[in-house]
Amino acid sequence: MGTDGPDLSVVLPVYRNRETLHALCGRVCDVLDAQGRPYELIFVDDACPEGSGTVLKELAQTNPRVVVLTLDQNAGQQRAVLTGLRRARGRWVVVMDADLQDPPEAIPLLLAAANAGAAAVFAGRRGRYESPLRLLTSRLFKGTMHLLCGVPADAGLYVAMNRPMLDRVLALDNPRPHLVAMIGCSGLPVASIPVRRAERPAGRSAYTSWGRLEVAWQALTWVLGYKLRDRGART
């Protein structure tokens, strides 16, 4: 990154978020403008079918900090995140959902915690932002992930990381990427701070129950395989 590059890159995967994008961009910009640091917002349009791309073009035309990456085919949230991370130029990177369940106002708190020594700091999920069944299955998955690779048990996609962590994540060979799992296997220090998630203000999750199970299974099997390969390389 050159000296004229942004200090912070915010990566936002977008799928069926047309109704929240204007408010999201406004809130993120308000928070970061108050911080006084150079930044860029990288929206990754994951082949959205309902017009999110049109809104993103409008945002890019009116805000020079907005970068829009458009995928030709739907790749899924995790691959969309990796696409944005590869484009990120910041010394620090924040990843967050585009549905306004992740409060942008927590970004300074995450960065302050990361600046205190952790290579990545997660927004530890708090609140009743999903149905009781989804919250239960999510906690089971996250608890298992914590046992396998030490990632915080309340970790979600909302995370701030420094450049060494980003470089480590991008160097990992994962054909089915899962950001939380990859950060957990990075070998660098991680932490979380409690952040209350909001209920979804519009629309519904793009993940079906089957889709959530598939993503969880792929993440857990990748972590197990990575740990076994790493142990074999050390012996």
| pLDDT reading at 235 higher than 60 | no
Residue 137: is it exposed, middle or buried by C-beta count within 10 angstroms (0-12/13-18/19+)?
middle
Domain ranges of the chain: 8-234
Share of the chain above pLDDT 70, in %: 85
Number of H helices, E strands in the chain: 8, 7
Residue-wise pLDDT tens digits, 85-108 = 999 999 999 999 999 999 999 999
Of the ranges 23-27, 44-48, 195-199, which one carries the lowest mean pLDDT score?
A: 195-199
**Cα dihedral sign, 183-77-101-5:** positive
Cα separation, 95 vs 116, in Å, equals 19
Provide the pLDDT for residue 135.
65
Stretch 183-187: mean pLDDT = 94
The interaxial angle of helices 163-171 and 77-87, nearest 10 deg, is 120
Find out if CATH 3.90.550.10 is the number for domain 8-234: yes
pLDDT at position 148:
85
> How high is the pLDDT of residue 231?
64
* pTM of the model as a whole: 0.86
Question: Cα 51 to the chain's mean position, in Å?
Answer: 22
